[in-house]
Amino acid sequence: MRLIVAAGSISKGHVLDVGHGGGDSLLLHLRDERVPRPSVLVGITSLSAHYERSSQRVHECQGYSKDAQGVRVELHLGDAVYRELGGVSGPIERDHPLGPTGRQYDTVLALDCAYHFRTRQIFLEQCFSHLSPGGRIALADICFSDDRPPSTFMRSLLGLLGLMPLPNIITQQEYLRCMVNIGYEDVSLEDVSAHVFPGFMRFLQKRGFGWRVFVTVLNAMLVTKGARFVIITGSKSGLP
């Protein structure tokens, strides 16, 4: 909800929800009274289980909610980054939301996923080209503190373990500069680490010994090394 508010979603707008997981964020757009109801809601996820579960939940929601019935929903299975050749295969990859035939969006959301993309910058560039004038993007993402930038060893280790592609391991200021250089305006970054990492780790620790080990590694490699969970937003100029 914090991300949707930061994105400034508008009533009857066109929304792209990237990496929506099991569909909770999609349902917020379809039925939550606090969220402006879009006219078009497009989602994409790279996991078939998420795609199938989200499709089922959206179908059920539109079966009983009159508000949801008025929204055109298009769900895609595929990589968040459009590629002319290759990428994650899916049943509608040819109609990728950020491809040449993709529509324009008033709002783009990416919740806890962009640090995985190959690469985040390419994704941001593609989103910018598909934003309507005055449109806005909001990402809940991971970067690193300007005071404690990741060392060369840490960058290599994160890349080797597949936690983040090397180009995505950037500081807060580097993230802001990347957005501005692409052309985004009104770029802002809010650090919400204190509201995310502690609760996330407590949740994982309750899931068994293996997860407790993972939390220890995650804390040692990311949180204590300056990783920050942020909400970053930017808009496209409304001028032609």
Question: What are the pLDDT digits (tens) for 223-237?
Answer: 777 889 999 999 999
- What is the tally of structural domains in the chain? 1
Range of the domain at 43: 2-144+169-193+230-235
Q: Does the predicted model carry a pTM greater than 0.75?
A: yes
CA distance 163 to 155: 10
pLDDT at residue 68 is higher than 50: yes
- Give 160 or 62, the one with higher predicted confidence: 62
- Give 218 or 1, the one with higher predicted confidence: 1
What's the average model confidence in pLDDT over 185-203? 92
Residue 163 resides in a domain: no
pLDDT at residue number 91: 43
Residue tagged 């590694």 (tokens):
217
Average pLDDT of the chain is 90
Residue 213 resides in a domain: no
pLDDT at residue number 90: 44
99-132 b/e (C-beta count within 10 Å ≥ 16 → b): beebeebbbbbbbbbbbbbebbbbbbbbbbebbe
CATH number of the domain encompassing residue 138: 3.40.50.150
- Give 217 or 97, the one with higher predicted confidence: 97
Residue 153 resides in a domain: no
